[in-house]
Amino acid sequence: MNVQQLKVFVEVMRRETLQEAAETLELTQPTVSFHLRKLEESLGTPLFRKQSRKLIRTEAAEELLPYARRVVSLMEEAAERMRARALHTHSRLKLGASYTPATYYLPPFLADYRHQYPDTDLLLTVKKAETVLSLLRHHEIDAAVISLPDEPLKGLQVLPLIEDELQLVMKPGHPLGGAEPLTAEQLQGETFLLHEQGSTSRQLAEEWAAYAGVQFRSVMELGAIETIKETLKFNSGIGVLPLRSVLKETAAGELIRRPLPGDGYVNRRHICLVYRDEPIYARHIRDFIEYIRGIAGAGSSS
């Protein structure tokens, strides 16, 4: 078993066919087949079986995959570090973030980090939280700052940085804007503007609604928080948005916000630092994790 065989194996696991993997790796299909066959021989177990033109993964392949990803990622990371040292170039820190942290939380910290570590180039990928977690598990990014429910994630270290609860958001003058107290019953029949499926905000909004007994009978589903905010300014709908995303608009009087009603409901949404639960060899990744840990410590002590 060698690194090239594992690299081929990981790419084949990403694709539907050997041909697609071969094209990505810039190899011939017979070469890809050769590496897979040698890998199976060294392991003493089949990794794939053919069905029509597709490869069907075996249980052994599924079990091998996370180890293979880790080995390939470490080898690529080591090669990159040695190239950087030889050429006196910068390290590359590949970060992932979901939309709320990327827009409303991270910018000042990324600027400060870049000032403190000028020899590290930052590459930030902004996607939905579940997509960012997938990139992290697949070793395609080094660490992530995302909004998450309060629950453990297998194989990952999760450090809550700051609470960022969801709030009801509406335009000034909305009939429910001054209701005291605002109850779940008063929300029945309202039109809700919600983030798209797969986002942490949507997941927790639906959990709250189920807890409070609110039914989302009329929904506008929008893909971006900024779009939801601008739409709210011109209609009588109610948004369910992260607190940090509406601080500027509510301070300016452009929107108003109210806590989610529901006796005993507890917020479970936090902006978190997430990284793989495994040894971290690259100094620039350790530096970033320690930097963000320092921010969390400073926030909790203030």
Per-residue model confidence (pLDDT) at position 125: 96
Separation of alpha carbons 302 and 300, rounded Å = 6
pLDDT at 241 over 70: yes
Dihedral, 157, 265, 167, 129 alpha carbons, nearest 10: 30
pLDDT value for 57: 87
Q: What domains lie within the chain, and their CATH numbers?
A: 3-84 (1.10.10.10), 90-163+270-301 (3.40.190.10), 166-266 (3.40.190.10)
Supply the pTM of this predicted model. 0.72
Q: Tens of pLDDT along 153-172? A: 999 999 999 998 999 999 99
Higher pLDDT, 87 or 146: 146
Q: How large is the average pLDDT for residues 75-90?
A: 73
pLDDT score recorded for residue 87 = 65
Give the angle 247-250-256 at the CA atoms, nearest 5°.
125
* 186 or 80, greater pLDDT: 186
Q: What is the pLDDT of residue 301?
A: 42
> Residue 53 above 80 pLDDT?
no
Cis-peptide into 181, omega within 30 deg: yes
Tens of pLDDT, residues 83-128: 776 665 678 899 999 999 999 999 999 999 999 999 899 999 999 9
Nearest to 199 by CA among 245, 251, 247: 245
Say what the pLDDT of residue 302 is. Answer: 39
* pLDDT value of residue 127: 93
Q: Is the pLDDT of residue 281 over 80?
A: no
Query: Positive or negative CA dihedral for 229, 233, 235, 237?
Result: positive
Q: At residue 282, does pLDDT exceed 60?
A: yes
Query: What is d(CA 231, CA 17) in angstroms, rounded to the nearest whole number?
Result: 44
Amino acid occupying residue 126: V
250 pLDDT more than 90 = yes
